[in-house]
Amino acid sequence: MKAKSIKQWTWVHKWSSLVCTAFMLLLCLTGLPLIFHHEIGHLLGTEVEPPPMSAEADRQRVSLDQVIRNAHALHPDRVVQFVSPDADDDRVLFVTLTPTPAPTDDFKSVAVDARNGQVLAQPKFDEGFMWIMFKLHVDLFAGLAGKLFLGFMGLLLLVAIVSGVVLYSPFMRKLEFGTVRRERRPRLKWLDLHNLLGIVTLVWAFVVGATGMINTWADLLIKYWQYDQLSHILQPYQGQPLVAAGERASVQKSVDVALAHAPHSKVSFIAFPGTAFSSPHHNTVFLRGNEPLTAKLLQPVLVDAKSNEITAAPAMPWYLTALLVSQPLHFGDYGGMPMQILWALLDIATIIVLGSGLYLWLKRGDPAHEHTPRGTARPSPDGPTPTGDRLPEPAPVVAASTGARSA
């Protein structure tokens, strides 16, 4: 690699990482407890547990209309936006109630026993340590703008990763894989650790960074989907107002109709008229498959909220499929506890890469000397010569230019 292109890639690597490092450290730190949010919730007692019942009673299911009535009775001034079974335990249903059907952070969640319709708990998802971690991780308490901002920081991380890989070659060409020169200056040790952990976590960090970035676009993708596909489907309803609560037919019936339409599937969640995931005229039942992969994909079924007839069951467009697949790849929640632990370890490794990168920059030398090979500038036996512990960049330049000459 030519010294000039190394210099350019170094510039790209330096600035893409410098701009995003503070935010990436925040994301890595807040992401760490989020990997274990289920387990932490369990420990804190905030996880909803259905009481044990006899095997026969366990199989009973009360009508969803009853479930919704019971939940709504606790918050009569609110509207029901969504109903969703607990992903791991379909004996628990979560009913989400908000002031209006519009998206908001002001929501109440009521957990209802699916077997008898009794209210189990009103978990407070919107307070406490985990909520703060979640909001800092997702949108910095700044809504869509915060999400898109973090998405852009994620893009810079991807640029930093790619440029880091390009620079790996000139830094490491004279060194054996995994070399960490501990006995020299601390700066050299951290440079080697930065390179080692950076290359070891490369694919994981790229995938988690890229899928995280895709997740920041979720709101926009869903809006686009409504515009792109639902608007055609909803043409016959044009001009009609939101279906009033009194005009709506049975919710249980609309779920039954949807399930009959797509057997071998389960309910992921139900979105009610006027909400972000539905239309003003439909109960939209989102079904998921029974197989490991299809369980992560969704099939929406739009059921007319008045007549309970199916209007459409549009296939998910590719961009929403990509969004849905990118979620487990970001969360690391799809391979059991060992995978969560590996996720945490890789996250910590990434924190070290970020921290060491920052350290290397803070301990950088006088930039005026950056491209002046020091001393004899001979091809060094131990690769990038520590020509001075203040200089990060000159070493690879020396190594590369000498390497280029000898090649």
Question: Rounded to an integer, what distance in angstroms lies between the CA atom of residue 348 and that of residue 407?
Answer: 38
Min CB(289)–another protein separation in Å: 11
Of 94 and 171, which CB lies nearer to another protein in the complex structure? 171
Extract the tokens encoding 314: 């549009």
Q: Does 400 bind another protein (CB under 8 A)?
A: no
3-state helix, strand, coil in the chain (%, to 5): 55, 10, 35
- Total residues at the site for another protein (CB under 8 A)? 46
Of 154 and 274, which CB lies nearer to another protein in the complex structure? 154
* Footprint (CB under 8 A) of another protein, residues 300-359: 325, 328-329, 334-336, 338-339, 342, 345-346, 349
Of 273 and 383, which CB lies nearer to another protein in the complex structure? 383
Of 74 and 180, which CB lies nearer to another protein in the complex structure? 180
Q: Does 213 bind another protein (CB under 8 A)?
A: no
> In the 8-state DSSP scheme, what is residue 201?
S
Of 1 and 80, which CB lies nearer to another protein in the complex structure? 1
Other CB atoms closer than 10 Å to residue 25's CB: what's the count?
15
Min CB(196)–another protein separation in Å: 6
Of 177 and 318, which CB lies nearer to another protein in the complex structure? 177
Q: Does 166 bind another protein (CB under 8 A)?
A: no
Helices (H) and strands (E) in the chain, counts: 14, 8
- Each residue 352-391 as x (binds another protein by CB under 8 A) or -, in order, gives ---------------------------x-xxx--------
Kindly write down the DSSP assignment for every residue of 313-360, as one continuous string: -PPPPHHHHHHHHHHHHHH--SSHHHHHHHHHHHHHHHHHHHHHHHHH
Q: Which of 97, 193, 271, 400 binds another protein (CB under 8 A)?
A: 193
Min CB(178)–another protein separation in Å: 3
Using an 8 Å Cβ cutoff, are 402 and 379 in contact? yes
Q: Give the torsion through C-alpha atoms of 224, 229, 235, 237, to 10 deg.
A: -70
Min CB(169)–another protein separation in Å: 6
Strand partners, 283: 303
Compute CA 281 distance to the chain's CA centroid, rounded to the nearest angstrom.
31
Using an 8 Å Cβ cutoff, are 351 and 28 in contact? yes
Min CB(390)–another protein separation in Å: 21
Q: Which of 15, 107, 149, 168 binds another protein (CB under 8 A)?
A: 168
Q: Does 407 bind another protein (CB under 8 A)?
A: yes
Q: Does 173 bind another protein (CB under 8 A)?
A: yes
In a 3-state reduction of DSSP, which class is residue 196?
A: helix
Cα angle 212, 210, 173 (rounded to 5 degrees) comes to: 135
Other CB atoms closer than 10 Å to residue 121's CB: what's the count?
16
Min CB(85)–another protein separation in Å: 17
- Of 363, 369, 374, 381, nearest to 398 by C-alpha is 374
- Stretch in the footprint of another protein (CB under 8 A) among 143-151, 175-183, 277-285, 364-372: 175-183
Interaction site with another protein (CB under 8 A): 168-169, 172-183, 193, 196-197, 199-204, 207, 292-293, 295-296, 325, 328-329, 334-336, 338-339, 342, 345-346, 349, 379, 381-383, 406-407
